[in-house]
Structure formats: structure tokens, C-alpha cells
Amino acid sequence: MIVRPVAVAFALIILNNAAHAQDVAAGEKSFAKCRACHQIGETAKNSVGPVLNGVIGRKAGSVEGYNYSDANKSSGITWDEATFAEYIKDPRAKVPGTKMAFFGVKNDQEIKDLTAFLKQFGKDGKKAN
């Protein structure tokens, strides 16, 4: 009977890891909605929208060589999980006048998954894990 708590602890660790992996995989699927306009990864380039490497933790409007709207540039936002979640739910409500023509992602779990996917990529586009 001493074994039990240990087994439970292992089960929890495994569950935790599975949940994390799922988030990233689900987030990668969801990122298909963004790919028309955004690139991410080591070879990413600005296209319709700016490169999204290292976006969580980045100041809005700070990718060099990308021609942002004034609305985005002067928003004063630093993208963290909370501001990104609000923005991606309804971009034009969070940043009125943004030129990101995207209706948003309404599902909270999907936003979490997307965030987990985005957070993998450092500023240089390399995956941290």
C-alpha cells in the first residue's frame, strides 16, 4: 500500500505532460488560420502580417521592416498571454483601426492552445523546447 501514492504521482505527471503536448499540437492546427498572413520559425519573413517569432513578451508594432498601422504601433501594448488573448478574440475591438482583417478566435481553449504553440518560438524563430 506504500506504492499507491507514488503511482498516483506518476499518473499525474504523465497526464500533465500529455495535456501540454496536446495544447501545442492543437495550437499548431489552429495556427493554420493565421498562416495566410503570418509566418513563424527560423525562416519566417514578414508577409501580409508581421513575423510572429517571440510574439508573447514582445512590444506591439516592433518587428523591424514591417509596415504596421498607426493603431497597432501606438497601442502601447506589450503582448503577454492576457493581452494576446483579448486581441485574438476580437482584434478590432482591442486595437481599433488595426489592419489585421481577421474575425478572431472565439474559443478560450483554442486561444490557450495557440498561445502554447506561439510560445515555443524564441525571437530567432528557434524552438525553445
- H helices of the chain, in order, are 3-30, 70-73, 81-89, 91-94, 108-119
Residues at the contact surface with ligand HEC, assessed by CB under 6 A: 33-34, 36-38, 48-50, 52, 55, 60-63, 68-69, 71-72, 79, 84, 88, 98-102, 105, 114
- Which is nearer to ligand HEC, 8 or 73 (by Cβ)? 73
Q: How far is the CB of 6 from ligand HEC (least distance, A)?
A: 41
Q: How far is the CB of 25 from ligand HEC (least distance, A)?
A: 16
Q: How far is the CB of 49 from ligand HEC (least distance, A)?
A: 3
Contact 51, 45 (CB under 8 A): yes
Contact 7, 19 (CB under 8 A): no
Q: How far is the CB of 11 from ligand HEC (least distance, A)?
A: 33
- Which is nearer to ligand HEC, 26 or 71 (by Cβ)? 71
Q: Which of 28, 59, 39 is nearest to 125 (CA)?
A: 39
- Which is nearer to ligand HEC, 16 or 47 (by Cβ)? 47
What is each CA distance from 109 to 23, 25, 49, 85, 87, in whole angstroms? 9, 13, 24, 10, 15
